């Protein structure tokens, strides 16, 4: 037998089996995620436009986000991002660091199983194959497409549409990608994010990374940012004055139309420093990014367990200012395209600012008249009644020419008897003339039988109504109550396109007090103002189309007074309030018709007849 080879270990000789055991006991390097990426990550030509060793200097802003993953005090990292800034690469670097530096059960969640399979095939496996330190730890024969096995750990990659898999394994590291594309919670299951979080409870040293391009303020990623302990933005030095600034869209300047095409206007775009007015072009950006730093803009709690990072596309080294301008110009006139620009380029949640409402705006619409006083210009009063299980909300509004209106009273009643009293009161106009409610629409969605009976008893001023969630050709249409066992059988039932009337209210609310404005009485309470602005209009997917729809700003916001105002406006519409101003137009003077021949003969011969 030949002599067994041995290896010198310091001054002692150690056989290979002992050397291997000692190597296994050797602690991992003390390096951050960004340091690991620069030392070990290799970008392959299949998934990267710049294959080769990873370089932090290409996307310097990612280093701070990745290194937060190594901070033992931080439990959750939130990255609100646009497209084309390298957010997915940051997630891959975190996963690679876990495999090599701190092996522990890990889960990566994507919006769907299809996307998860694609990322594993086209991103994860090529990354493992290109990095020797990862390849040596990968157990290919024991792995499947959804679960990769490594030394001391497994990495599960699944879609958020698989709730059973989300709830099946304990994990320490949770990486959630594009969370605003996850399906919403169902009645049978909790939402995917909550299910995945539950899997981390058994680990006190857990880490959660959540990232996405935002959609709405009610979306997962924006709510996560609003719930963070610390929010950080990336600041870069101006090449002219040296002051650190945030890159903001409003500072991107480009020529007006002047007969120029979008492409020509975009090519002349430049960034104007908000501090010194210096012109910043694309050639300045690489140096600015390398010298940039993350700075805290909001601090809500200490210590910071949840840290949020926000970035827009202007920071991307892969996108020129002209590209951003061209994307804006080609989308600004199309709500669906504009939402995509706001979300994917500016990394901001979408709101239709043309119909943006808030409680402060309502309170700005207060007049000098107190509650229960009818303005002198008012011609009629209408009301809206929203019926709930335990109470009834009501609102009375005065109407004049050009749909000028003012809320004169509103409240919450305990019974329909109270509603009957309120609606039958006389309300005095400023000149002392009394007015009563001419028409009230009562929501029949809840307590339908009770509403029908109430309207039948008060048919001279009350009609049952029902909101339509589907757009109609007209603002309202009249149907009939078809319940043969109801006292209201055969009575008119008003079907209301609530979306159209909310558009009108929101638009009129923007007008300053005066003709055509939507006003409230002096001393109007904030609860009413909050409820009447509890919804906003946003883009939502309906099948293959994107449509605009009024939805609650928050999941449990009360909007009862908004419903009341919708019904009051519809009641005014039914009574012809849109055309009140035409009634004051004087009839056009016309020449009197000539008298018939016999009358002319009598007139001409009147004297002769008298003498005779």
pLDDT at residue 429 in the model? 95
Residue with tokens 């409820």: 531
- DSSP secondary structure code for residue 366 in this structure: B
pLDDT band at 354; cut points 50, 70, 90: low
Query: Looking at residues 168-181, what average pLDDT do you find?
Result: 89
Range in 227-241, 270-284, 353-367, 378-392 with the lowest mean pLDDT = 353-367
What are the φ and ψ backbone dihedral angles of 477, each rounded to 5 degrees?
-145, 155
Containing H/E element for 564?
helix 560-574
pLDDT at residue 315 in the model? 95
Token output for 389: 């299980």
HSE value, Cβ hemisphere, 13 Å, CA-based, for 281: 4
Across the chain, mean pLDDT equals 87
What are the φ and ψ backbone dihedral angles of 57, each rounded to 5 degrees?
-70, -15
Torsion angle of the four alpha carbons 273, 274, 275, 279, in this order, in degrees rounded to the nearest 10: 20
Token output for 253: 């300047």
pLDDT (tens digit per residue) in 528-548: 999 999 988 877 766 666 678
Q: Which of 232, 124, 113 is nearest to 161 (CA)?
A: 113
What are the φ and ψ backbone dihedral angles of 18, each rounded to 5 degrees?
-75, -35
- DSSP secondary structure code for residue 138 in this structure: B
pLDDT at residue 60 in the model? 95
Residues facing residue 380 across a β-bridge = 399
Range in 220-234, 493-507, 589-603 with the lowest mean pLDDT = 589-603
Cα distances from 374 to residues 378, 382, 398, 519, 570, in angstroms, run 7, 12, 7, 12, 19
Token output for 156: 């599960």
Question: pTM of this prediction?
Answer: 0.61
DSSP readout, 119-136?
A: HIIIIIHHHHHH-HHHHT
pLDDT cut 90: percent of the chain above it: 61
Token output for 168: 């099946």
Q: Where is pLDDT greater, at 347 or 19?
A: 347
Cα distances from 40 to residues 128, 130, 135, in angstroms, run 11, 9, 11
Flag whether pLDDT at 157 surpasses 50.
yes
Contact 182, 67 (CB under 8 A): no
Q: Which of 336, 56, 371, 84 is nearest to 215 (CA)?
A: 336
Query: Looking at residues 216-221, what average pLDDT do you find?
Result: 85
Query: Looking at residues 573-599, what average pLDDT do you find?
Result: 69
């Amino acid at each position: 037998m030949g002599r067994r080879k041995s290896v010198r270990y310091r001054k002692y000789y150690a056989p290979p089996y002992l050397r291997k055991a000692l190597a296994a006991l050797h602690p991992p390097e003390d390096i951050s995620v960004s340091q690991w990426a620069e030392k070990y990550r290799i970008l392959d030509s299949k998934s990267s436009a710049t294959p080769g060793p990873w370089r932090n200097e290409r996307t310097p802003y990612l280093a701070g986000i990745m290194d937060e993953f190594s901070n033992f005090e931080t439990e959750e990292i939130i990255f609100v991002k646009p497209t084309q800034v390298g957010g997915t690469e940051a997630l891959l670097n975190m996963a690679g660091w876990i495999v090599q530096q701190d092996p522990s059960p890990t889960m990566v969640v994507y919006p769907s199983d299809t996307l998860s399979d694609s990322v594993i095939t086209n991103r994860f496996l090529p990354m493992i194959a290109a990095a020797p330190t990862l390849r040596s730890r990968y157990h290919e024969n024991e792995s499947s497409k959804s679960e990769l096995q490594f030394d001391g750990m497994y990495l599960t990659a699944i879609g958020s549409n698989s709730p059973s898999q989300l709830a099946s394994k304990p994990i320490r590291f949770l990486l959630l990608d594009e969370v605003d594309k996850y399906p919403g919670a169902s009645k049978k299951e909790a939402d995917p994010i909550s299910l995945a979080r539950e899997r981390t409870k058994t680990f006190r040293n857990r880490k959660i990374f959540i990232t996405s391009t935002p959609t709405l303020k009610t979306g997962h990623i924006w709510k996560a940012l609003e719930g963070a302990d610390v929010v950080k933005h990336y600041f870069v030095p101006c090449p002219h004055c040296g002051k650190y600034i945030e890159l903001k869209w409003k500072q991107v300047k480009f020529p007006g139309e002047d007969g120029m095409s979008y492409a020509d206007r975009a090519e002349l775009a430049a960034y104007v420093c908000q501090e010194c007015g210096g012109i910043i072009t694309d050639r300045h950006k690489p140096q600015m990014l390398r010298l940039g730093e993350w700075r805290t803009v909001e601090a809500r709690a200490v210590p910071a367990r949840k840290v949020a990072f926000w970035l827009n596309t202007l920071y991307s080294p892969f996108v020129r200012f002209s590209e951003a301008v061209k994307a804006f110009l080609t989308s600004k006139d199309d709500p669906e395209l504009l939402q995509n620009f706001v979300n994917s380029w500016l990394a901001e949640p979408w709101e239709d600012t043309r119909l943006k409402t808030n409680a402060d705006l309502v309170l700005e619409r207060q007049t000098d008249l107190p509650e229960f006083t009818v303005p002198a210009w008012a011609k009629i009063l209408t009301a809206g009644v929203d019926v709930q299980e335990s109470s009834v909300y009501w609102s009375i509004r005065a109407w004049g020419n050009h749909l000028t209106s003012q809320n004169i009273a509103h409240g919450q009643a305990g019974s329909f008897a109270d509603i009957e009293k309120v609606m039958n009161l006389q309300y005095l106009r400023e000149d002392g003339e009394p007015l009563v409610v001419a028409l009230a629409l009562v929501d029949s969605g809840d307590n339908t039988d009770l509403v029908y009976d109430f309207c039948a008893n008060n048919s001279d001023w009350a009609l049952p109504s029902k909101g339509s969630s589907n757009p109609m050709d007209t603002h309202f249409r009249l149907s009939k109550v078809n319940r043969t066992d109801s006292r209201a059988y055969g009575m008119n039932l008003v079907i209301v396109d609530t979306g159209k009337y909310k558009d009108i209210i929101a638009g009129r609310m923007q007008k300053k007090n005066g003709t055509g404005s939507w006003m409230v009485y002096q001393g109007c309470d904030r609860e009413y103002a909050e409820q009447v602005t509890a919804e906003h209009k946003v883009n939502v997917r309906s099948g293959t189309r994107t449509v605009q729809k009024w939805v609650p700003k928050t999941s449990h916001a009360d909007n009862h007074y908004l419903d009341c105002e919708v019904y009051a406006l519809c009641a005014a519409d039914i009574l012809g309030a849109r055309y009140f101003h035409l009634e004051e137009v004087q009839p056009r003077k016309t020449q009197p018709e000539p008298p018939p021949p016999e009358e002319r003969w009598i007139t001409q011969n009147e004297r002769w007849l008298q003498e005779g």
